[in-house]
Chains A and B, each alone.
Chain A
Amino acid sequence: MSALPRASELGLIACPVCGLVCRTVVGDERLDGDGIDDAMACPRCNTTLKRRKPNSYMRTWALLIAAFLLYIPANLLPIMRTASLNDIDDNTIISGVVELWVKGSPGLAVIVFTASIVVPMLKFFALSMLLVTSQRGSGWARVQRARLFRLVEFIGYWSMLDVFVVALLTALVRFSVLSRVEPLPGVIFFGLTVVLTMFASMSFDPRLIWDGRDTDD
């Protein structure tokens, strides 16, 4: 046992909801189950106790791939239509960023670019990398990987920014034939992408980063 004991080695388990530390039997297989047979419940809040989030790899991969599939139409399809008397203009996420940049708000363009493009891409790369390295039991850069996961969890929901921008502009720009903004399907795909990536990062268990062969403690 290393200097920093881990709960599974001591026969302890932390409740994922209330944080209570509970004593278990070391090696009790029911605690590694898939969540259907809830063998043990937290005595304080009655949440089912598991050593790790059930089927973490499978669920996270599934949600991540689904999110990525939706992210393709989210970027290719226009998210918003601006219509005026003599002109109809369909905007994609990228064209919205470019427009902000050209019209003299480079600062906001950078923020929108970060929220809509950098953050989702970072989530796809970071979570895939974390999944692959953890599945291999890699001991590489564990502290940095743990930090990366916390970053992904923390910034994830900011991607919703563009969805709210489209919604607000749609509600505001309704000047009969003179000028109108309408949402287009891209924004729906984008909203769903954000929700699915949030579920993906929630279903990843960061403890798996530390579960492989112990090489660096």
Chain B
Amino acid sequence: MFRRHQAHHRMGKASPTSLLICEQCDTVYRRRLLARGEVARCLRCTAELERHRPLSVNSLLALLLTAMIVFMQANIWPIVTLGLNGQYRATTLWGMIITMWQQDAQVVSVLAACTLFFFPMAKMLMMGWLLWFARSGRRAPGFVPLMVGLHRIGPWTMSEVFVLGALVAIVKAHTYFEVTADPGIYAYAALTLLITIFSGVDLRLLWDETAEPVQ
């Protein structure tokens, strides 16, 4: 702990936000303000360094709220109904997760529960909490662990993959069964659209945009 403490002091000298380091190749850049639609790219490895965020915190929060409602619908409503000789069978996301557990594919069940339900939900709740406080330029209680948590969840949400999977499953089932698309699949389609919008937003900007609490 003592050595950690020393590190803090040594770094007090560097101005934290004037420089930018490319994550992909370690090249150092002086940061500058980006205009609307601008993307800063690394001259060495062509990776994206930073992009201008066209949406205000309030619009992000509005979109997030929409995403939460759509996510809830996508989880509650049935996704597809299959019919065979007058028998019908529909399923929801949780129906799928539970069936996989019962069919001795617990690994798949847990994977699906995490990547399609728990992680996306955690991500949205955390973002909502952080953005709510960021509206007034403040850091939410638990700001640091939540920002770190968001970074760690990163690539482990797979709703958009599931939508494509549902499409493939429908086409496969179509040969043998009567297939009816249910509201859940449309909610998923809308969710995918919202996820695409969010994937272009780097929430790390919140580190700079919110003030640290006065101690």
Chain A residues in the interface with B (C-beta under 8 A) = 4-8, 10, 12-14, 16-25, 38-41, 43-47, 49, 96, 99-100, 103, 105, 108, 111-112, 115, 142-143, 146-147, 149-150, 153, 156-158, 160-175, 178-179, 182-183, 187-188, 191-192, 195, 198, 202, 206-207, 209-210, 217
Contact = CB atoms under 8 A, between A and B. Distances in A.
Interface string B78-107: 011010110101110001110110011101
Given A21-B20, A160-B115, A183 B105 contact: yes
Contacts of B107: 188, 191-192
Given A18-B151, A108-B168, A174-B99, 13 more contacts: A4-B44, A6-B28, A12-B19, A20-B207, A22-B14, A41-B8, A45-B148, A143-B46, A164-B165, A167-B96, A171-B99, A178-B87, A210-B44
A162 to B, nearest CB: 8
B155 interface: yes
B45 A173 contact: no
Contact of A187 (B13, B19, B105): B105
Interface residues of B, number: 71
A42 to B, nearest CB: 9
Q: Please list the 7 inter-chain residue pairs (A to B) with the smallest Cβ-Cβ separation, ordered nearest first.
A: A164-B165, A14-B21, A171-B96, A40-B7, A146-B45, A171-B91, A23-B14
B153 interface: no
Given A5-B28, A146-B46, A210-B26, A170 B99 contact: yes
Interface in B168-207: 168-169, 171-173, 175-177, 204, 207
Given A157-B158, A173-B173, A168 B21 contact: no
Contact of A169 (B20, B43, B173): B173
B14 A21 contact: yes
Given A4-B43, A23-B14, A192-B107, A38 B173 contact: no
Nearest to A41: B4
Contacts of A22: 7, 11, 14, 16
Contacts of B162: 164
Nearest to A44: B207
B62 interface: no
